[in-house]
Amino acid sequence: MKLRDLLQNFFGKPTSQPEMTDEVVLKIIKILEQARAEEITCDDMFAQLDEFAEHKFYGRDIEKIAPLLREHLDICNGCHEEYAALLQVLENTQK
């Protein structure tokens, strides 16, 4: 049984829509694999941003320390700009 058939059996075969192609099913699976059970908000991020910037500035492995914060920065431009500004301040204070 193909994955497409399995999903269609589970969700029921739509009558007015065309069958899902294997390509569409694989895209859905990739999206689901990347979804996290827990995510953080911008408010959570701002509450910890200064510590996170200091960890990065001092060369600590931020991927291990706070992977959710790193992921949030990768998708949120506002938080990333604030983070970049904090790093710039830290660099300027060391000169």
Between CA 12 and CA 31 the distance in angstroms is: 21
Give the HSE-up count for residue 74: Cα atoms under 13 Å, Cβ half-sphere. 9
The pLDDT value given to residue 37: 63
The pLDDT value given to residue 88: 93
CA dihedral 38, 22, 13, 34 (to 10 degrees): 0
Between CA 39 and CA 25 the distance in angstroms is: 25
Between CA 25 and CA 3 the distance in angstroms is: 8
The DSSP symbol for 37 reads S
pTM: 0.57
Domain ranges of the chain: 3-34, 42-93
The pLDDT value given to residue 35: 65
Mean pLDDT of 63-82: 88
